[in-house]
Amino acid sequence: ERPLLQIEHLKMHYPIKGGMFSRTVGHVKAVDDVSLSLNAGETLGLVGESGCGKSTLGRSIVRLENPQEGRILFENTDISRYSQRAMKPVRKRLQIIFQDPYSSLNPRKRIGDILAEPLIVHRLVERSRIEGEVERLLDMVGLPRAYKNRFPHEFSGGQRQRIGIARAISFEPKLIVCDEPISALDVSIQAQILNLLSDLQRELRLTYLFIAHGIGAVKHISSRVAVMYLGKIVEIADKRALFQSPKHPYTRILLSAYPPPDPTLRSDKRILIQGDVPSPANPPQGCRFHTRCPFAEERCRREEPLLTGGAHAVACHLPLNGRLDEEGFR
Ligand code: SF4
Ligand code: MG
């Protein structure tokens, strides 16, 4: 069986303008040669600091951005060069939810009308069944039916995210790109939204690309996790393997910043990350992580490591090879 989504050598480079004539003086390599695939029904967590290109990657998959190079195969069809018109029918099966759904909810419209709009525009249900369908969507995301008469500003952040999710599932999608859907929410609400997404995944057989900046957010919902740094995937593995035996120093550092499930884990096992993220307009030569890596050697400054290793792939010349819960993880 082919994967539901397959990304091959995707590149998203933005020109940087400068000088008196606003000429292109360089390129921001937001996404630089990324390949990955998603099987139907799974959740791939995509983690990295802000500016690493994870949102750009997510937005390019649903074609809110135009990739410069590479292929995006969705249901075995290359949609990477589709026009917006050609994308329209595909979008029903390929949805995105955002960190702040409020910005995409028309403040002058009632929730019932907001949820009815795609049903009407895309002729998803008959006119006579629209009100019933809106109520069914509210049920599915755990909101009272009476809320259909309210306006967006009357809702909390968590409730607005439920509305964003209701709108996404109204299309009966196969894949939903979840772009940091819980980052702006209170911790207590985050778990509720994660549970809702998990329940809907089971009921509707959804596939998720779940984007987050913290590794803790992807722990429960993901089946696999990919770690991104400066436009590149640096490690990808089954969640268990990644959390128990991370191979890339950056993954190890992200995990050490995440509260350990075992409080006896000694704090001296934590490694601190050095410095800021370099500019993606001018990424370091060799391994892009070498300016911050505590293990960097001469070779790392010269030679770019490739992502290799099959099911647990890593892009590092000196991958770590111990379990996190043992002494001396290197
Ligand atoms: Fe660190 Fe070198 Fe591995 Fe890069 S290749 S992550 S600099 S050890
Ligand atoms: Mg983002």
Give the percent of the chain with pLDDT over 90.
74
pLDDT at 264 over 60: no
Residue 329 has pLDDT above 50, yes or no: no
DSSP helix/strand/coil, 55: helix
Segment 8-35 shows an average pLDDT of 87
In a domain, 174, yes or no: no
Phi and psi (nearest 5°) for 259?
Answer: -55, 125
pLDDT at position 326 over 70: no
Q: Which atom of ligand 1 is nearest to the CA of 250?
A: 6
88-204-160 Cα angle (round to 5): 70
| 90 phi/psi in degrees, rounded to 5 | -70, -35
pLDDT at 235: 98
Q: What is the DSSP-derived secondary structure letter of residue 308?
A: B
Distance CA 265, CA 267 (A): 6
Amino acid at 201: Q
Instruction: Over range 220-237, report the average pLDDT.
Output: 96
- Which CA distances in Å does 310 have to 237, 313, 315? 9, 5, 11
In this structure, what token pair is assigned to residue 2? 């082919």
Strands 175-179 and 207-212 come out as: parallel
Range of the domain at 276: 223-330
| pLDDT of 261 higher than 60 | no
Residue 97 lies in a domain: no
* pLDDT > 60? residue 325: no
Please give the tally of structural domains in the chain.
1
Using the mean position of ligand 1's atoms as its centre, give its distance from the Cα of residue 295 in Å.
6
Buried b (16+ CB within 10 A) or exposed e, 47-68: bbbebbbbbbbbbbbbbbbebe
The per-residue pLDDT for 29 is: 86
Whether 306 is covered by a domain: the verdict is yes
Q: Is residue 196 part of a domain?
A: no
Q: Is residue 22 part of a domain?
A: no
Classified as helix, coil or strand, 14 is: strand
SS3 state at 16: strand
* pLDDT tier for residue 54 given thresholds of 50, 70 and 90: very high
Amino acid at 97: I
Residue 310 domain flag: yes
Please give the average per-residue pLDDT across 228-234, as a whole number.
96
Is residue 185 over pLDDT 50? yes
For ligand 1, the distance from its centroid to the CA atom of residue 294, given in whole angstroms, is 8
For residue 149, tell me if it sits in a domain. Answer: no
Share of the chain above pLDDT 70, in %: 93
How far is residue 45's CA from residue 221's CA, in Å, rounded to a whole number?
8
Say yes or no to pLDDT of 15 above 90. Answer: no
ipTM of the complex: 0.96
Q: Is the pLDDT of residue 224 over 70?
A: yes
Is residue 290 predicted with pLDDT exceeding 70?
A: yes
**Residue 76 predicted with pLDDT over 90:** yes
Distance 183 CA to ligand 1 centre (A): 29
Please count the helices (runs of H) and the strands (runs of E) in the chain.
10, 11
Instruction: Please indicate whether residue 249, judged by its CB atom, sits closer than 6 Å to ligand 1.
Output: yes
Q: Looking at the predicted structure, is the pLDDT value of residue 96 above 70?
A: yes
Instruction: Please tell me the distance from the alpha carbon of residue 102 to that of residue 161, in angstroms, as a whole number.
Output: 8
Mean pLDDT for all residues in the chain: 90
Closest CA to 181 of 300, 43, 1: 43
If you measure from the C-alpha of residue 141 to the centroid of ligand 2, how many angstroms do you get, rounded to a whole number? Answer: 24
Per-residue pLDDT, averaged over 26-47, amounts to 94
Q: Are 111 and 147 in contact (CB under 8 A)?
A: yes
Element (H, E) at 314: strand 313-314
Q: Is 305 in the pocket of ligand 1 (CB under 6 A)?
A: yes
- Kindly give the number of the ligand 1 atom that is closest to the alpha carbon of 301: 7
- Please indicate, yes or no, if residue 206 is contained in any of the structural domains: no
Q: Nearest Cα to 315, choosing from 218, 246, 244?
A: 246
Query: What pLDDT is recorded for position 327?
Result: 39
Question: Which ligand is in closest contact with the Cα of 50?
Answer: 2
- What is the dihedral sign for C-alpha 169, 170, 175, 181? negative
Does the pLDDT of residue 330 top 80, yes or no? Answer: no
Q: Which of 228, 318, 329 to mutate to test the pocket of ligand 1 (most atoms within 8 A of CB)?
A: 318
Nearest-CA residue for atom 5 of ligand 1: 316
The pTM assigned to this predicted structure is 0.91
